[in-house]
Amino acid sequence: MARKRRVGFAVADARHKTVSVRVERTVQHPLYKKIMRRRKRYLAHDEGNDCKIGDRVVIEECRPLSKRKSWRVVEILERREVAEIQPQEIGAPSLEAAASGSEDSE
């Protein structure tokens, strides 16, 4: 029997060799027939620590690796571009300017 595969987005990557993946599916309400979105988060093993937050990944079922981790990252479909914006670029005061400004007013 083939192993189950899911496609989702990485929502947390703080753990070592582990990524949290949110998988979304649609289901129809049995009585009212409305289409609803259901989300579930899976912990997946990421051997190379390659996944970052926002990446679209394919995960596959595997043997239990820990209490909650029984999925592994098979491939990264697309990477999310994370912009590193400096406070000066958006007109916000920097932390140094804010700290020195509060000392002057006292």
CATH number of the domain where residue 37 is located: 2.40.50.140
44, 19 contact by CB (below 8 A): yes
Q: What is the mean pLDDT of each run of 10 residues along the chain (106 residues)?
A: 95 95 98 98 96 96 97 96 67 66 55
Please tell me whether the overall predicted TM-score, pTM, comes out greater than 0.95 for this model.
Answer: no
For the record, the structure tokens of 84 come out as 């590193």
- Whole domain around residue 93: which residue ranges? 5-104
Confidence at residue 81, expressed as pLDDT on a 0 to 100 scale: 77
Overall domain count for the chain:
1
Confidence at residue 50, expressed as pLDDT on a 0 to 100 scale: 94
58, 20 contact by CB (below 8 A): no
